[in-house]
Structure 1
Amino acid sequence: MTATLSETLTLLLIEDDDGDAFLVEELLRQAEAPPRITWVRNLAETRAKLTSEIQCVLVDLSLPDATGLEALEQVLAMAPHAAVLVLTGLRDVHVGVAAVQAGAQDYLVKQDVDARLLARSVRYAMERKRADLAQIRLVEAELTAKENARLENGLLPVPLLHTKKLRHVTRYLPGTQGSRLAGDFLDTVQTPDGSVHIVVGDVCGHGPDEAALGVALRIAWRTLVLAGQSGDLLLRTMDTLLRAERKAPEIFTTLCMATITPDLTHARMRVVGHPPPVLVRDGVIEALGGGPSGPPLGIFPDIEWTAIDVPLGERWSMMLYTDGLIEAAVGENRQLLGVDGLVDLVKQHGAIDLDRLIRHVGTLSDDLAAMLVSRSGT
């Protein structure tokens, strides 16, 4: 009966006995799709022939340069992504069980092997290896996601906001790259004079270094605001910190910050290479016009950023966000939302609702930090 292998595999046979090696090759040639076989006689040759193309390794447990589980352990170390099938001439089930417990996908006793059994064992070993690798990736992803969530939640600030006249909502969500920490940050501080200072920023890139830099910039911003700094002096100080702390000269940071007057009717903003905030005031929904205040931090030295004075009135809402929101793919054509699309979406909803916006957008390709500050009137 013809043995079955549903795909053409690349196998490595580690066998020092010429007769046994010839037998295994002959049995595998009877498969419906005979595999490509590389034959080596010891572990020394194995190191030279074991490439990433090898999908399955058949290994004898009695080799000239290693025997028993020692040989198996070395093969497993050399081929972490390949299925390993143990061949033994010992009629001792404990040897095979120990081999599987040590990491092999299956074992066969040479004297009991025929073409059909060998082909089936190779196929099953491959499937078990795929399942093992998938389970490992799943566990690693879950652990990474939990650790990232713990770190992100622990690093998010508690807003220093004392007035009850403002509604303040924040969201911090990972994108599809959520297994990697990002440098998005946000903060809110109300100073003793009653002014409310807000910021949302984004360090370019992903990873622990960028996340740590984002936290450093956020803490620096809060400290500088509490110390009475504002405007270009604050931004130049943060620019100096960024240049000192970043791991590579190409790393930059965008941000949008605003200072809302104590009577909550005006705001002075600086849009530093960042997406413009979305405003709702007097029933009009729009993105802040007039262009950015200047380039991101960390690119040009001795920059001045233009302040943007915004009258707010008695009833208003303001949303600051990172580009993870406008870079989301939406609609049947999966086009980027963009700033105009975001404004249109808010107009459809009739107001800014962060949770509703995020649900409508769906899957985020990048991380998102967003803040909604609103005043309902006197």
Structure 2
Amino acid sequence: MNGAAQSSAPPLPATPAPVPGSAPIRVLLVEDNPGDARLIRAMLKAADGDGFQVERADRLLTGLEQMAAGRIDVVLLDLSLPDSQGLDTFTRASATAPKVPIIVMSGSADETLAVHAVQAGAQDYLVKGHVDSHGLGRAIRYAIERQRTAEQLARYAEELRQKNVQMEADMNMAREIQQAFLPEKYPTFPPGVAPAASRLRFCHRYLPATAVSGDFFDIFPLSDAEAGVLICDVIGHGLRAALVTAIMRGLVQELMPTAPDAGRFLAGLNHGLRAIFQRMNEPLVATAFYLIADAGRDELRFASAGHPSPLRVRRAAGVVEPLRTQDPRHGPGLGLFDEAAYPTCRCAFAEKDLVILFTDGLYEIEGAEGGEFGLDRLCAAVQRRVHLPPAQLFDELLEEAQSFSGRKEFADGVCLVAVERSETQR
């Protein structure tokens, strides 16, 4: 019967053309009215000759049995059958053959029913007497194409989900490996004494922004009275930055004979990283600060590779200031130049003094109301807590920074390391 087509599914831009020599489309027509069934068969014959192979079921139960047996490409389903009525008819059919596209063909032009059917998963809703042979053939081909596309998208989504699961597992393993590179326990000075009796005491907080981080630190003994403290920040985060921290760990071990000389130690790190960074497609750079805390000479020796200056806390005077020297020179970031100089600087390290090393993720945070936390605010925050033990100071400092940003998470990784010169027991 000719007439305007009424369809509840969105139209596609062009009718999929039959493929010459292809097998006919197997259509299951679930229709109890013999007259309607003959008309639909005739419409399909007119639409594409032998392109449709039609089987008929006059009851839903019979149709479900044929669907369960397979060998069906598309279902034309009447919702008003002797053994089932309304939307429940579609629901039962869809549950039996969820991967077979179903087109509802109903004598009812109820738009609400049509919308509900399509929302439930029907590929289309056609009103008997309001669709011609061309429209019916086109609706069937569209339904099959939409179903194939949906299944393909579902496969892609599942592949993506599996890849994400694998990526997450890889990231978790990378995090565990990176965490294993960090100091498990702090050295004591002299060796063997209880941490509370050590002449040098340490504390740290390590908060990666993602599963892995570009921040790295290490603490190692150089003598019975000297500790080497290294903090490093690879620009960026994620796996690339984390891999560089793993390389740093290996270089630190390799360069340990030079560790008593701060400038020479950083020059060695620069040379090792430069050789690697030159072979990378995308440029990388790392900043670092290396500090030697000497409890025997009551002094600090240090060198910087473009890293933020640590804070020196002179508790006896109640003063917090950047770690300054008479030599204002700082070496460049690691891996930038083949030959780079890193001057070694010195300053006093009195009893009860504290040095706080940190990465820029601590102070380069945006406030909830605008502005940056900044170094001045960081110094002031430490100043208010100058006499607190390092662990408590760090926790309160992080809380203040989080309160400033209005977020519990830091946008960039944060690493804090404290070196404390203990009071000599008399």
| TM-score category, normalised to shorter length | 0.5 to 0.7
Q: How many residues matched?
A: 303
Determine the C-alpha separation between the residues in 1 that align with 2:173 and 2:120: 34
Given candidates 248, 259, 268, the residue that maps to 1:217 is: 248
Determine the C-alpha separation between the residues in 2 that align with 1:268 and 1:42: 80
Residue 360 (structure 1) aligned with residue 400 (structure 2): yes
Given candidates 286, 289, 310, the residue that maps to 1:277 is: 310
Report the alpha carbon displacement of residue 38 of structure 1 after superposing the two structures with TM.
3.3
Letter in 2 for 1:280: V
Report the alpha carbon displacement of residue 300 of structure 1 after superposing the two structures with TM.
2.6
The aligned counterpart of 2:369 is 333
When structure 1 is superposed on structure 2, of 236-245 and 283-292 the one drifting more is 283-292
Name whichever structure is richer in strand by fraction.
1
SS of the aligned residue for 1:319 comes to strand
Deviation sequence 1:289-322 (CA, Å, 0-9, x none): 3556221112233221222212121111111111
Letter in 1 for 2:363: I
Report the alpha carbon displacement of residue 376 of structure 1 after superposing the two structures with TM.
3.5
Residue 255 (structure 1) aligned with residue 281 (structure 2): no
The aligned counterpart of 1:81 is none
Determine the C-alpha separation between the residues in 2 that align with 1:266 and 1:236: 22
Letter in 1 for 2:182: L
The aligned counterpart of 1:153 is 179
Instruction: Decide whether the 8 Å contact of 1:183 with 1:215 is kept in 2.
Output: no
Determine the C-alpha separation between the residues in 2 that align with 1:187 and 1:27: 68
Report the alpha carbon displacement of residue 173 of structure 1 after superposing the two structures with TM.
1.0
Instruction: Decide whether the 8 Å contact of 2:187 with 2:221 is kept in 1.
Output: yes
The aligned counterpart of 2:7 is 27
Residue 41 (structure 1) aligned with residue 16 (structure 2): yes
Determine the C-alpha separation between the residues in 1 that align with 2:97 and 2:290: 61
The aligned counterpart of 1:119 is 115
Instruction: Decide whether the 8 Å contact of 1:324 with 1:366 is kept in 2.
Output: yes
Distance change (3 Å), C-alpha of 1:228 and 1:338: closer
TM-score (norm 1): 0.66
Structure 1 unaligned spans of 5+? 1-18, 30-34, 45-59, 66-86
Distance change (3 Å), C-alpha of 1:99 and 1:258: farther
Report the alpha carbon displacement of residue 120 of structure 1 after superposing the two structures with TM.
4.1
Instruction: Decide whether the 8 Å contact of 1:159 with 1:188 is kept in 2.
Output: no
Residue 184 (structure 1) aligned with residue 215 (structure 2): yes
Determine the C-alpha separation between the residues in 2 that align with 1:43 and 1:154: 61
Residue 96 (structure 1) aligned with residue 132 (structure 2): no
Distance change (3 Å), C-alpha of 1:286 and 1:243: same
Mapping of residues 202-241 of structure 1, within 5 Å: 202-226=233-257, 230-241=261-272
Report the alpha carbon displacement of residue 233 of structure 1 after superposing the two structures with TM.
2.5
Given candidates 169, 179, 204, the residue that maps to 2:203 is: 169
Determine the C-alpha separation between the residues in 2 that align with 1:149 and 1:284: 37
Determine the C-alpha separation between the residues in 2 that align with 1:304 and 1:237: 10
Distance change (3 Å), C-alpha of 1:172 and 1:89: same
State the identity %.
22
Report the alpha carbon displacement of residue 117 of structure 1 after superposing the two structures with TM.
4.3
RMSD of aligned alpha carbons: 4.1
Determine the C-alpha separation between the residues in 1 that align with 2:263 and 2:241: 23
Instruction: Decide whether the 8 Å contact of 1:189 with 1:222 is kept in 2.
Output: no
Instruction: Decide whether the 8 Å contact of 2:213 with 2:238 is kept in 1.
Output: yes
Distance change (3 Å), C-alpha of 1:148 and 1:221: closer
Structure 2 unaligned spans of 5+? 20-24, 28-49, 52-72, 78-89, 122-149, 190-197, 403-408
The aligned counterpart of 2:273 is 242
SS of the aligned residue for 1:245 comes to helix
Determine the C-alpha separation between the residues in 1 that align with 2:421 and 2:118: 68
Given candidates 322, 332, 336, the residue that maps to 1:287 is: 322
Instruction: Decide whether the 8 Å contact of 2:361 with 2:413 is kept in 1.
Output: yes
Letter in 1 for 2:205: R
Instruction: Please list every run of at least 4 consecutive aligned residues from structure 1 whose deviation after the TM superposition is greater than 6 angstroms.
Output: 92-95
Determine the C-alpha separation between the residues in 2 that align with 1:110 and 1:27: 10
